[in-house]
Amino acid sequence: MTVKQAILPAAGLGTRFLPATKATPKEMLPLIDRPLIQYAVEEALSCGIEEFIIITGKHKRAIEDHFDSVCELEEKFRASGKEYLIEEINRFNQIKFAYIRQRVALGLGHAVLCAKPFVRGEAFAVILSDDVMDSENHLLKEMIEVYEEKKCPVVAVEEVPWTEVHRYGIIDGVLEGGVYRISGMVEKPHPESSPSNMAIIGRYILTPDIFEILERQEAGKGGEIQLTDALMKLARTKDIYGYLIKGKRYDAGDKLGYLKATVDLALKNREVSKDFEKYLVEKARSLEHASAQNSMGF
């Protein structure tokens, strides 16, 4: 695969998850036993991506620590004969990580621009770790294949309810052989003025020419430098494609999405799935019982 680098913006304030994110990065919130950002890194590794450029900010040091080795734990596991756990905690030791501080939260476009000095002149992925993909979803790999065929930027898109278009970058375009050729993009529009309900999801394959545009990009929605606006400008000079998500995606940056991801992942987790399923079935029964009692006026 030709895409070897990924940018992971992780400098956001995580306001949707306060107070949990007051001192803990939202990227470090766990789903079962792994933080959100680890799911993103594992997804990228499975596509042949080898280098990670993480855009961090204040209070985000836990991310660097997470991908580092932990000597105290190694010694403890060695002494107690639990060598298999050493492998688990050291899985990322050989992988290249670069960390750049985004000093001011000026938006996603600005976060991506911060990675410019580290990007070699090749296409790269941008992964937003609060969009968590089901492990059976090979979205990023499929997007890289589309990039390899078209040699143009590719963004992931998903149909969302019209009541939610104001939360996303929205595309306009025509479906051509399974992918959208994008003719317009707008960041978080009003439902009445939105060109469609096809939302950009947190996976992008971009080409380095986006940096020149980002350098000149003025603040857009919310006073921030928006990646969507820069991509719209790029679309004037080259094709940009929208790749429709086929599998399941969770918005784990949102409380309800996070809960759904936790439940679905727990049901697939070897260690807890059986007991958790039993608990859920009992819970569903008692909820059903309570709601039947309510409707009978008890």
Which parts of this chain interact with ligand G1P (CB under 6 A)?
108, 128, 131, 168-169, 187, 199-202, 226-228
Nearest distance in Å: CB 28, ligand G1P: 17
Nearer to ligand G1P, 3 or 185 (CB): 185
Nearest distance in Å: CB 63, ligand G1P: 17
The CA-to-CA distance between both ends of the chain, in Å, stands at: 62
Nearer to ligand G1P, 3 or 225 (CB): 225
Nearest distance in Å: CB 1, ligand G1P: 23
* Residue 237 CB coordination number (10 Å): 9
Nearer to ligand G1P, 194 or 228 (CB): 228
Nearer to ligand G1P, 5 or 228 (CB): 228
Q: Give 4's DSSP letter.
A: -
Nearest distance in Å: CB 131, ligand G1P: 5
Where do we find the tokens 């991509």? 231
Instruction: State the Cα–Cα distance between residues 5 and 45, nearest whole angstrom.
Output: 10
Instruction: State the Cα–Cα distance between residues 171 and 272, nearest whole angstrom.
Output: 40
Structure tokens at 186: 């707008």
Nearest distance in Å: CB 254, ligand G1P: 9
Structure tokens at 34: 């792994």
Nearest to 5 by CA among 206, 158, 185: 206
Please, which residues have CB within 8 angstroms of residue 45's CB and are 6 or more apart in sequence?
Answer: 95
Nearer to ligand G1P, 131 or 142 (CB): 131
Query: Are 5 and 119 contacting, i.e. CB atoms less than 8 angstroms apart?
Result: yes
Instruction: State the Cα–Cα distance between residues 118 and 115, nearest whole angstrom.
Output: 6
Q: Which residue is nearest to ligand G1P (CB)?
A: 169
**SS3 of residue 206 by DSSP:** strand
Give the H/E segment covering residue 101.
Answer: strand 96-101
Nearest distance in Å: CB 84, ligand G1P: 36
Nearest distance in Å: CB 290, ligand G1P: 35
Instruction: State the Cα–Cα distance between residues 135 and 129, nearest whole angstrom.
Output: 14
Nearer to ligand G1P, 119 or 165 (CB): 165
Nearer to ligand G1P, 90 or 197 (CB): 197
Nearest distance in Å: CB 246, ligand G1P: 17
Nearer to ligand G1P, 202 or 242 (CB): 202
Query: Are 210 and 216 contacting, i.e. CB atoms less than 8 angstroms apart?
Result: no
Single-letter residue type at 64: E
**How far from the centroid of its chain's Cα atoms is residue 4's Cα?**
17
